[in-house]
Amino acid sequence: MSVYESILKGLNEAIEYEKGNVQARTAKCTVSPVPDFSSEEIKDIRLGFGMTQVTFAEVMGVSVKTVEAWESGTNKPIGAARRFLSVLKADPKLLVKNNIISA
């Protein structure tokens, strides 16, 4: 199927849905709340990986100053950084499994 045909098929499905001729597939899921992390917890996560603040900042995609501010309690991580911290805490092997760092 070409890109054009795929787009056309999707548009036709959308039109049929709007007319009430087809039902949309749905899936329900529950999303856990994004946890908060204290400055000590952030430092513990970093040290658990044996990383310097510089390396941890690279992994997190933030500046070293940001990591310093998190660990000193001056600032707190928000949004995606908090979610990523929770994933790192839950699965310490994640960075190696996903080739973010080498063992």
Domain total of the chain:
1
pTM: 0.72
Asked whether the predicted pLDDT for residue 103 surpasses 80, the reply is no
- 92 within domain boundaries: yes
- 1 within domain boundaries: no
Q: How far from 47 is each of 3, 44, 52, 102, CA to CA, in Å?
A: 48, 5, 8, 16
The token duo for 8 is: 């056309």
- 76 within domain boundaries: yes
- 77 within domain boundaries: yes
pLDDT, tens digit (0-9, with 9 covering 90-100), for 55-88: 999 999 999 999 999 999 999 999 999 999 999 9
CATH code for position 68: 1.10.260.40
- 30 within domain boundaries: no
Q: How many CB atoms lie within 10 A of CB 57?
A: 19
pLDDT, tens digit (0-9, with 9 covering 90-100), for 16-56: 989 989 887 788 999 999 999 999 999 999 999 999 999 99
Which residue range is the domain that position 71 belongs to?
39-97
Question: Quick one: what percent of the chain has pLDDT higher than 90?
Answer: 81
- 46 within domain boundaries: yes
